[in-house]
Structure 1
Amino acid sequence: MVVHNPNNWHWVDKNCIDWAKKYFQEKLVGLTTGESTDELYAEITKLSSLEGDCEVNQRKGKVISLFDLKLNVGIAGHVGENKLEGSITVPEVAFDSDPEDYQFDISIFKETSKLFEIKPVIREKLIPQLRDIFSNFGKQLLLTHGNDIQVSSDKVTSKFTKANQQSSFSTSGSTKEDANKDSATGNTSTANASSSTKAAVTSSETQQKNSGNAAKYNTTKVHLESSFQVPAIELYNTFIDKRRIEAWSRSPIQPEANTGDFSGSTLQLNDAFKLFGGNITMKFLSGEPGKKIVFQWRLNDWKQGHYSELSLEFHESQEYHETKLVVNWSGIPVGEEDRVRGNFEEYYIRSIKVTFGFGAIL
């Protein structure tokens, strides 16, 4: 990164979200509760999603890191001979978080009273490892990228900015006190830049091509989970039975012109249709009854031809008479994450529960 910034005086920032994904992929995947031969065992198998902002900034020679991230990791393991899969969601890993601030939502798919026994082990042996990695993240972010946004100290003639430059790398990164100090001294650049970052392109730089057209977005992923008090096959049918879809969406299904025969009572493969007054378009790509559905999905104000992929997995726990819906959603344009997540929680999850009485409404 080439920097033209005499004496490191002006504001410079660098987006590091892609690096953060690689960092956590490397650091988190493979962490375990112990030996795989243990009676109770779990390990992190993948980084399912990483959302939020991550950057390093400098002004007047001072370098700080600013990040606010939400993570979800997949886990697998066993309790005796009973295999398990699940996830751990961390709602916030932020530059001003203390180790005790981190929250961990442990979810075991198809949970039974036997599989439940793994949760205390995860909290005791795996969560402390996660706390250590998150606590060290700001320091590593700064050490890796801090020099990229500054002119080297041998080219700095200002004693003030040179002193700030040297002190920046003698600490572990930005802190709550740094932000408060900037505010108190009238330096609003840090706060303003942090706010503007949320509206800027700060996530995956992967560009998605769809159906041979030229539409391109920087895209990201969203991960959701919700429990329904209903067998998996019933929840599955709720997403493919046309009358049920019209009930929970409170809107008629509008078949796309090129769909062909749309007269059946349930969706067929490659059926394409609009919902919510034409605001969204969906296409049924694949289905495994009671287990998984994959849709192509787009908002009508996205670039023409751009679709995301909406994957719905159904994990039924017969012992607890519930099904966990696991949503893995890829190809979402950067900046649309909150909008897509909020709409799905309100107009899909909540509406289905209200319409059919499939669970508690939060």
Structure 2
Amino acid sequence: MAKWGEGDPRWIVEERPDATNVNNWHWYDKTFNLHVLVFLLVSCKVKEVEKCEGEAMANNRKGKLIFFYEWNIVLKWVSNKKSDKKIEGKINIPNLSEENDISEVDIEITLEDSTDEGEAVKHFLHTKGKEFIRDKLKKYVSSLKEEFTVGMILPKKDNVKENISNITSGFNAKMQMNSTIVSSNNKKELGCKISTTTIKQQQKFQCRAEEFYNVFTTIEMVQAFTKGPVKLELKKGGKFELFGGNIHGDFMDITPTKIVQKWRCKQWPDGHYSDVTIDICEKNDHTEVNLTQVGVPVSEEESTKENWERYYWDAIKRTFGFGYFM
């Protein structure tokens, strides 16, 4: 890999008649629209897709496939059962994404007009219908990861077959997508100044301060909200590693009211760390958490903000039921 700030021949797209992505080095993306989910249930059918908002994407970088999908779907259903009054309603699927297992995806069933016959159909959809819908969603995700990625992994120059088992998602993938290619040379590069900025965020959690502190300092709880293995040495100077090694650093100070970390993303320029301070303050009816992160590369500011929101704060609230404040 080239040194920081220098060119690299792998970044030069050669003029090739076959347009081959040589050695799978360059980004190669495919974007997919979620087509209409048309399926029949025992006593009713979907007659219309009222809403289908979101996106799905498969990326290939250096031979690794990375998947994202996030959909908000509203379907209109109607009963096939003969009745004096039409029995119809809606199916709301607000959180189909790679963050959630299919079994955790919310499926809300509503009924247009409440009647005895209508309530019976709604009850059926709540039981057998949800299982059927989840089965269809599983097939969609499977198609995204298999059928739609055909041709995204291309042969390497040495004809070595690529093992496509390393499929990542979430924070790991986000960090790779928003990263900058940096030097693998461990020696400190001279004459390279990085423009940095400071991030500040405030969050409120419906829990005691001690409970929030435990979330950040108990291996089992960190594994729960990050959804993966972690390394955690809970002491001053101790090391931590989260999200498959994409986030790592050292504890500079750790008390029940303040956690200070020397924090970096794996894809940042070699040797560059930011300083993260998390202040934990218990109020009358909630705990207030203030994050200050000094030394974030300017090019990574927005993605770092989004990742704190999505993969720390929201994940903690969802996992432990600490609630949301509007």
Shorter-chain TM-score range:
0.3 to 0.5
Larger RCO (CA under 8 A, 6+ residues apart):
1
Q: TM-score, normalised by structure 2?
A: 0.40
